[in-house]
Chains A and B, each alone.
Chain A
Amino acid sequence: MQREMILLFRYVLVFCLVSGFASAQVELTGSWAARNHEFLTGDGLPVDFTGIPLSPEAQIRALSYSNSQLAMVERQCQGWPAFYLVQGPFGLKIWSETDPLKGSVISYTIGGWEDRAPMTIWMDGRPHPSKYALHTRAGFTTGVWEGNTLVATTTHMKAGFLRKTGAPSSDEATLTTRFYRHGDILTLLAIIEDPIYLAEPWIVSRSFQLSAAPLAPIGPPCVTTYEGTTRETAPHYLPEKNPFVDEMTKKFGVPRDAAEGNPEALYPEYRKKMAAGK
């Protein structure tokens, strides 16, 4: 009888484990092609901060940005922070590292590209390091499953940019990315918080489609070269003298404050304000 009870216990345990795993996770590994049917950052005009709820300080700093900074030797390979996952034009190559004894996932890695560092999502329960620890381009990311959704939290990113047009991000920014898989569509919902440069969380998303063609897990190496910017030069504008401040208005009819990242412009009632000509 004791042997049969042990057998029963094993049956129940196996059932619980199998059903638990089946309902708690989905497969994320593979190649996910970008479709880019939404806004492509950096492919627009300078001083396009539309849709970003920038703080007043961020709006001023953003206006001081010159794209020519990327010609500086020390900035040519700076790349973009982890937000670029849902901003850039590239697909995602995702693979996992498995514990050889337990079979559990230790981490997922999203491959990088020339201007995007790989992101490793630690799934083994390790804590985030001290706030004084090294900040990197990719930051430090941990993940947990909530039902079928992987929730990844990224901290310790270097100060960088929310968008390639120069909207700044601080080294206190955090990124929460939720991975939703529906069939062959993977949608990433990103919630970006920055106590310095965002007036409220910036919430963006991007969808990818499963691809049979493998994507590269890594991009070409970034090699610096002289691009005509001397070592003594740091291209920038005085905020009130940015020559491109009206480009979005002239070309697309976007009100200047919306182009500059006015948080009010994220909400439908801003249409009324535009209609009233305010």
Chain B
Amino acid sequence: MKLKYNPKNLLVIGFFLIFSLLIGREKAFAAEVTIDSAVGALDSQRIKPSMVWISSTTGFKIYVDGGGTCAWSRTTDSGGSWNAASNITAQSDCLQIAVWYDRWTPGDTTGNIIHTLWAESSGDDVYYDSIITNVNSSPAELAIDTSSGNSYAAADNVTITKATDGALIAGFCNGALAAACSVRRCAATCTNAANWISAGTAPRLDITNDYIILLPIASGNVMLLRDAISADVIQYKLSTVGGTSWPAAWINIASGVVDSTTYKETVVGTVDKSTNNIYLAWGQNVAGAGTARIDTGIFNGSAWTITSSPVAANNTLIALDIGYDGLSGDVYTVYLSGTAGSAVEVYYRKSLDSMNTWTAATRVNTAGGSDMRYVYLNGNSSDRIYAAYYRNAEAILGNNIASLTSPDITWAPSANNFSIYQSAALTWGAGTLACQGTLTDDNGETITCGGGTKIANGTQYRVDALLKNGGGTTVKMNGASDYVDHVNVKAGWAGATPTLGTCGFSDVGSDNGSTTCTAAWNSTNNVRITNTGSGNVNIQAAATEGFMYLITSDTAAASSTSYMNTSLDSITEDSSKITIPKYNIISITTADASVSYGIVGLGANKDTTSGGLNDTQYAINNGETTETFNIKGDSTPCPWILSGSAGAGQYAHSFCITGGGTPHLCDASPVWAALTTGYQELKANAAVGASQPFDLRVTPPLSTACYASQSANVTVQAVEYP
């Protein structure tokens, strides 16, 4: 399943791209804070969801306060501190409270209301109310069920949601009166109790205090879930006709779900707003020594797929919740584990691949374990994933898990983030460096790929490019719409007919799923890398991913400018252009490359000019670029020591390229320069194909013991000019 980033949620990025490297993606678990230090009793804190974040800075926790009122606490500083409780109702016998935020419903991007539903014990009625988040106030509550005979207790359940057609759906049930178990629907003007009508003919719930959840699905319908305690099953039913009709039968999602008689609120769900898929998690044998676990499943609108367990074989698991990162599609589970009643810790795990795999557990609480009983996540957010947890008979605490900001892809994560290696291996960083450079995100800029051997003809290379997600949530690569392109490869630096090889991902962080890298030509000249595997290539917040491919240049590679381009989760980024240098073959030949001076008197001279041997030599630029010719001589084996002038055992060997003669300048008035054993310039700026004549002159030693023929070889070197 492909999870796409919703561009409507894009934050203004602009220059933020540049500075994002300096911004941490998540606080490394700052100390937990107290949301409310004196809250209501244990059972009154059971219901989830009960926490809403409307922005990255502002969040609401709704709960039963110490005085028995239904209340909320608000933070406006990203959870750094929480305001004193504000009452939703003045009634002091609020038993429990369920909430739904407008914008948790797919399609709703503007609603500002947190809808609440609770039951109270004095009148045994069920009330609807709301929190208007943008003004931080709550209007008067509305009793939507005042049926006589009800007898609500804290252990009874309430749930509320907003359907995709805008109707509010409330579910409630008490353990004493089956007739009071009802699903009510309000299509409009929900401040009028008359508008809360029983939805369908068979919406009744049982009276066994099965924990229930309502979640919106497509077409205005809703899903009702329950943990059927007596049957050890997790079940659901779907409304029809826009939420006005319900089937009688429940359908099993999972069976054999052994329940705890103490910790029963262990079915949690959330909705992916972009797909309307439902993500569900439930506890299995919670508090069962050694066998407790969390199981998960996804409903795609027609069927359930059971996904992997974030927690298995845990002997102290007692509570859980689920959250959905609306930017990246990452799924979070939080759970309580430890020594029940005394040293329970809060942990979270994250899935980057739709609950197929999970990250390792990370502890959320920072003050050490205590008697934690319930844990809460804000079910769906594109701003923040925040955990709150209830400490028995005392307080609700909280701590941040992830500060979500829009993914921010950058081609500039670090120095030398683009490299080309001569290599046949898909091994990041391996091989002989051909060149490398530091890309930027400014496509109008051109940088140079340097520092290596450059690009040669007919040679296999691997291109490594590093991409960073500078944002605060995961970027995922999957399917044909997500790609990394290297633009202008063919007919560019790799020549007109390069051979494209395989590709690979350098899985920085080892967080990728089951991936398959595919490289193919796109738009004729671009190399396109895609992930055709079943899993995601994940680039988590502030993390990097390497993309590499193999390619063999053809016989006409050329210095050329290219750039990287990517589109991941509908976020695009072009890199700066980078000039990839062609390796110009440096080649020289000498002709006729042989001089036989013959026998030369001690201290006498013999040269190759027309007046001497008439054997002028030539240095020819056979390379692909302008060259500089250098020349050097050497001592002979016997030896005659090469020197500036002849002496005892020392001989001189000189070269000439200038004079006043014809056909060669050195044929008259030659200007001789003594060769040394080190290179000195013979001719600079020799064009491709140019032939530079030069003459040589030898002067044997004034005296020597070496009368055999001596090899007085001369070496002419070509280097690239300048």
Q: A and B, one complex?
A: no
Residues of A that sit less than 8 Å from B by CB: none
